[in-house]
Amino acid sequence: MSEGMGSAHHLVKPRLTAENTRYARIVGRNITIRRKYLGLSQAQLAAKITEAGFPISETVVHFSEIGRAGKRPENQYRNLSVDQLMAFAAVFECSPLDLLQEACATCQGIPPKGFTCNECAATGS
């Protein structure tokens, strides 16, 4: 066999770090903010997402939100699948992009109905 690109020997596996898994952390924080805004427990949120057709366990919600203590930074927060992210967005009635952006410190991305946040210009709906 020739020393081509197919040689497993030459494959470099990129290492996951806290930096290149930062979206998992951001999504987790946004899930916490929006879950509490709706007054749901982690179990209730998991049930709603499951009802919406995307089976998910309370444990996955938990690990998404707060991560697993004692794990290396890159493994702390559960990296949700694209479909799971879409399910959370559907239940929160927001855009998946809203979940991927660091929440505004002033309104947390969810200003009250009828109000516009002076900081980020988000409008409550």
Judged by the rule CB under 5 A, the positions of this chain that interact with Zn ion are 104, 106-107, 117, 119-120, 122
Which CB atom, from 43 or from 100, has the smaller least distance to Zn ion? 100
Which CB atom, from 87 or from 103, has the smaller least distance to Zn ion? 103
**Minimum distance of Zn ion from residue 88's CB (angstroms):** 20
Helical ranges in the chain per DSSP H: 22-37, 42-51, 58-66, 73-76, 82-92, 96-100
**Minimum distance of Zn ion from residue 121's CB (angstroms):** 7
Q: Hey, what amino acid is at 116?
A: T
Cα distance between residue 84 and residue 53, in whole Å: 10
**Minimum distance of Zn ion from residue 104's CB (angstroms):** 3
Which CB atom, from 16 or from 104, has the smaller least distance to Zn ion? 104
Contact indicator for 103, 116 with CB cutoff of 8 Å: no
SS3 116: strand
Which CB atom, from 60 or from 104, has the smaller least distance to Zn ion? 104
Q: What are phi and psi of 124, to 5 degrees?
A: -75, 135
**Minimum distance of Zn ion from residue 87's CB (angstroms):** 25
